[in-house]
Amino acid sequence: MKKKIFRVMTMAYIVTLGAILGASIYAGAVVAPTTFHSELLLGKELLSNFQEGLIMTVNFQKLGYAVNF
């Protein structure tokens, strides 16, 4: 019985770790270029680099909650 509980907990840990790693990679590979090059998608520059940096700061802070959980 203990071995089965340990196995389930280990699988849950690995899945959670993989999800957090995937979210980190997604934030760096997709969200950052989209945020910092928004003028390519919108057609004109609406945000300054400082404002785009603030958006990414909030994004990484919220991702940090999941990492620190």
Q: What is the pLDDT of residue 38?
A: 87
Confidence of residue 11 (pLDDT cuts 50, 70, 90): very high
If one counts the domains in the chain, the total is 1
Q: Tell me the C-alpha distance between 53 and 22, whole Å.
A: 22
Express each pLDDT in 28-37 by its tens digit: 899 999 999 9
Q: Tell me the C-alpha distance between 3 and 31, whole Å.
A: 40
Express each pLDDT in 35-57 by its tens digit: 999 888 888 888 899 999 999 99
Supply the range of the domain harboring residue 18: 2-68
